[in-house]
Structure 1
Amino acid sequence: MRLLYILTVFVLTFSIHGNAQNKKKQDTEAIKKMCGCYEVTFNFTETFNYSKDSLYKPSETKIAKGLEWAELVENDKNKISIQHLLQVGDPSKPHIVKHWRQDWLYQNTDFYMFNGDNTWNFVTKPKAEVKGQWTQKVYQVDDSPRYEGSATWVHVDGKSYWENTTDAPLPRREYTKRSDYNITVRGNRHEITEYGWLHDQDNAKVIRENGKEDMLLAKEKGYNTYVKVDDSRCQAANDWWVENQKKWALVRSKWSNVYGRNQNLSLESKVENKPLYKHLFADDLTQTDDINKTIESFVKK
């Protein structure tokens, strides 16, 4: 009887482990399906207004299109990193813009959670809370932090999707025009589709002040479609990355050092009257020491 019990426990343990590994494989395959060349359509519209100001004006509906290359820059056992590049302008001689980056970490416990005013609070979660989950860490064009959150990839009824709600800075289309709120509570859904993938968003525009309850100003719908096209259409972006990837590897390495300090992070908005991305996008900034000094100059002590 004891032998039978041991065998039963062994079989169950093996089965559970095997199922977990199969699930993780499904997860990684879904994440990596976001790589490649895509025709992207960005759609945003304000849906509900909660302002008490009778003169309140909602943001204009925004629709933009572009060609985007998503490059797999890291593919480890528990980490997948995807760099996005926009390819714009004349198709015969396109201009390449380094866009956002998304890192996916398996069962990650360390987070930098946005809290307004260019500040991110370092938070550690218990292992049990993130078991089987993937953290999506989203970075700005200069690889500084943006927002992150943890959730489980779901594979059911032929669908694969991941959903999370987290605090984030205002998007560029908003912070250049709006100053009446300071937090975007982002409801993110990434879903793999027949045409490519979908970034579906239900966002809240929130006013946060110390010592006060958050005030909801408005809600917003985002519906961004990534339609897969032949990779050859993004050849210019691919070539640009081959030429520039060493520099941006140095940038990521310095940021990893900053994040590895595991403490609250507050960044300057400008140094020498320029935001960080303008410093880092300079063609003559290529040396490790110069990159490190530039990034460090934005980190408030």
Structure 2
Amino acid sequence: MKHYLVITLFFLVAFNATAQSKKEQDQAAIKKMCGCYEVTFNFAETFNYSSDSLYKPSETKVDKGLEWAQLVEDADNKISIQHLLQVGNPASPHIVKHWRQDWLFQNKDFYMFDGDNKWNFVTKTEDEVEGQWTQKVYQVDDSPRYEGSATWVHVDGKSYWENTTTAPLPRREYTKRSDYNVTLRGNRHEITEYGWLHDQDNAKVIRAEGKDDVTLAKEKGYNTYVKVDDSRCQAAQDWWKAHQDKWSTVRAKWDEVYGRHKNLQLEEKVDNKLLYKYLFDDENYNTAKQINPVIDSFIKE
């Protein structure tokens, strides 16, 4: 009996060590997305399924920029990374607060995009998310964008994470297209020798209540993040130090909203103005007293 207990204890310790080692590999891969990068954004429509003979596909889009990915939070079960674009004259660059990605270990609570600026609150079971990381992606104003859960894979010298989820139209599309209302995003994040890769296989979907989804077209996205010396993004780092307290206040308000655990629908504009236009105004929106009411004004009851 004693011999059996010793063997059992040995395997339990070995199993826990292996699981912890896997989680540490996951954490290391996620944090490798931090730093200064030369980014190339590539998007091309690949196939269309429209019955309209006059259908015009989206133009191929290629953009480049310098981006700083700032580690905001580094906890055992949560890693938060804020992206900042550094644009304009390198001697005096302009900083644009870009998207944010939070990674949560074995998260069960989700806000899933359903079209028309609405996100449905969904809860998964422990078994469904065991060993998985949820990537939650936020807009520039820290409102929701999309999220999904999957397992980080480390095999044959590769580290990658793959998930397919619903999302709003990207900015490059919703200002030009109104013939579809949901993007079905196939996301692959892979750590590479040069930095990391965001590889996408997306579907442009028409969603209407009471009807099956219809795929209008498909799109390929191939965004490369090539690591460069962090000093090249010094202006973005300095900007974040000066503005991080304000954006911590914004995140805290949104955390309170998400913590309600109910479906969320947002106004597109209030007084003909987008939310980020309010929040990017540092002079008039810098404290909780100024920030919280304007975020509340965008939430439909």
Q: 1:162 matched to which residue of 2?
A: 161
Kindly indicate whether residue 53 of structure 2 is the aligned counterpart of residue 82 of structure 1.
Answer: no
- Equivalent residue number for residue 292 of structure 1: 292
> What's the CA shift for 1:277?
0.2
Listed one character per residue, the Cα deviations across residues 83-138 of structure 1 (whole Å, up to 9, x for unaligned) are 00000011111000000000000000000000000000000000011000000000
Unmatched tracts of structure 2, length 5 or more: none
Cα distance in structure 2, aligned partners of 1:52 and 1:270? 33
Name the CA distance, whole Å, in 1 between partners of 2:231 and 2:123: 42
Inter-partner Cα distance in structure 1 for 2:69 and 2:261:
29
Question: Post-superposition shift, 1:3?
Answer: 1.0
Tell me, which stretches of 5 or more residues in structure 1 are unaligned? Answer: none
Amino acid at match of 2:158: K
Query: What CA deviation, in whole Å up to 9, does each residue of 1:153-182 have, x standing for no partner?
Result: 000000000000000000000000000000
For 1:132-157, what per-residue CA distance to the aligned partner results, in whole angstroms no more than 9, with x for missing partners?
00000000000000000000000000
User: Match for residue 9 of structure 2?
Assistant: 10
Supply the distance in 2 between the matched residues of 1:165 and 1:119 (Cα, whole angstroms). 18
2:24 equivalent to 1:25: yes
What's the secondary structure of 1:143's corresponding residue? coil
Pairwise CA distance, 1:7: 1.2
For 2:218 and 2:6, the matched residues in 1 are separated by: 55
3-state SS of paired residue (1:115): strand
Q: CA RMSD in A?
A: 0.4
Could you say which residue in structure 2 is the equivalent of 1:148?
A: 147
In the alignment, the residues of structure 2 paired with residue 130 and residue 15 of structure 1 have an alpha-carbon distance, to the nearest angstrom, of 22
Measure the CA separation in 2 of the matches of 1:286 and 1:79. Answer: 26
The separation in 1 between residues aligned to 2:11 and 2:207, in whole angstroms, is: 49
1:237 is aligned to: 236
More displaced 10-residue stretch of structure 1: 284-293 or 195-204: 284-293
Q: After TM superposition, list the pairs within 5 Å mapping 1:240-255 onto structure 2.
A: 240-255=239-254
- 1:77-226 equivalences under 5 Å are 77-226=76-225
Q: Which amino acid aligns with 1:167?
A: T
SS of the residue corresponding to residue 18 of structure 1 reads helix
Following the alignment from structure 2 to structure 1, what is the Cα–Cα distance between the partners of residues 55 and 166? 23
Structure 1 stretches of at least 4 aligned residues deviating more than 2 Å after TM superposition: none
CA displacement at 1:256 relative to structure 2:
0.2
Q: Which residue of structure 1 lines up, in the alignment, with residue 72 of structure 2? A: 73
TM-score using structure 2 length? 0.99
Q: How many correspondences in the alignment?
A: 300
Question: Which residue identity is paired with 2:99?
Answer: W
What letter corresponds to residue 121 of structure 1 in structure 2?
A: N
| Cross-structure match for 1:53 | 52
Sequence identity of aligned pairs in percent?
A: 74
